[in-house]
Amino acid sequence: MPVPARLAPAKVNLGLYVLRRRPDGYHDLSTVFLPLGWADRLSGRRADELVLTTTDPGLPTDGSNLVVRAALALRQWAGNPALGAALHLEKRVPYGAGLGGGSSDAAAALRLLTGLWSLDVPEADLHALALGLGSDVPFFLDGVPAYGTGRGEHLDPLLDPDGQPYRCPFWLVVAVPDIHVSTAEAFASITPDDGSRPDLAAAVVSNDLVRWRAEVTNDFQGPVEATHPEIRAAREALLDAGAGHAVLSGTGAAVVGVFEAEDTAVEAAEALPATCRVWTELPEGE
């Protein structure tokens, strides 16, 4: 009998505005989430205890891992501390890169264990559990292109002008320099701007790269690149190789380059420094 498994896809932020600091210490954001095919794989089977193994020896497998935290939260919701599982995470997406890898792993754990433990969890409860684990986790429960506000947890499906789910028409090249960006330090480095900001969702679905260059921007990009010139170098390398636009994802270190032609995207990916991990994504439907 096959072991149940779920993919945990990465995401990129196509634009990220930090609007204001809230009384609870979080920030109100405006961002567009786009899922990628780049994904971890989480599998599991029922067991007497709750244990996690992983292909990455650098990852903790105790309660500090979001997969374990998700399992503990779901077990607490069920009111049954005897629920156990042997979970295994095949780690493929770089962590600490602005790609949401840990958050996606947590969402995959919630979905996987809901089925494995035969729990009937209302979607509202599942989303509340996800938000308790992190601001990005609710997005990964459904993993469709979305416009995020609040902490990023208020999600509206991203729709084309004709009302259909958004499909990105561009080739994407995601470059991840071999450095870690502290989310806390990134937030400490910026000044929120609650002034007149562009309509980020409308800018993205316009598929107008002139508009993308002007409006699909990331407030973290300047401060983060000032601290980590390797990130600026990766973004500029994408632009030099023909990207119509290139922008930081999340708080970094990943940058995403947007290309209209396959051959240009492939050549750009091959030209990036060997120190970068690279993912190339073709347009949906190709």
Annotation-wise, does 106 bind a ligand? no
Catalytic option among 11, 40, 91, 105: 11
Q: Establish whether 102 is an annotated binding residue.
A: yes
Q: Which residue has the tokens 């320099």?
A: 177
Rg (CA), the chain: 19
Catalytic residue among 40, 91, 105, 136, which?
136
Q: Exposure string (b/e) for 4-37, b if CB count within 10 Å is 16 or more?
A: eebebbbbbbbbbbbbeeeeeeebbbbbbbbbbe
Q: Is 94 annotated as a binding residue?
A: yes
Q: Structure tokens of 234?
A: 């990766």
Establish whether 101 is an annotated binding residue.
Answer: yes
Residue 242 among known ligand-binding residues: no
- Distance between CA 167 and CA 183 in Å, rounded? 29
Is 103 annotated to bind a ligand? Reply is yes
254-277 CB burial, b ≥16 within 10 A, e <16: bbbbbbeeeebbeebbeebeeebb
Q: How far apart are CA 62 and CA 78, in angstroms?
A: 21
Q: What's the token pair of residue 20?
A: 């204001």
Q: Is 222 annotated as a binding residue?
A: no
Question: Is the separation of the CB atoms in 239 and 3 below 8 Å?
Answer: no
> Is residue 97 marked as binding?
yes
- The enclosing H or E element of 87 equals strand 85-90
Q: Is 166 annotated as a binding residue?
A: no
Q: Establish whether 17 is an annotated binding residue.
A: no
Measured CA distances, 221 to 26, 66, 160, 184, 246 (Å): 19, 26, 27, 15, 11
Q: Is 11 a catalytic residue?
A: yes
96 is annotated as contributing to ligand binding: yes
Alpha helices in 7-165 (DSSP H): 66-78, 101-116, 123-133, 137-142
Q: How far apart are CA 15 and CA 208, in angstroms?
A: 14
Whether 136 is a known active-site residue: answer yes
For residue 69, give the nearest of 56, 57, 55, 87 by alpha carbon. 87
Extract the annotated binding site for ATP. Answer: 94-104
Extract the annotated binding site. Answer: 94-104
Residues tagged active-site: 11, 136
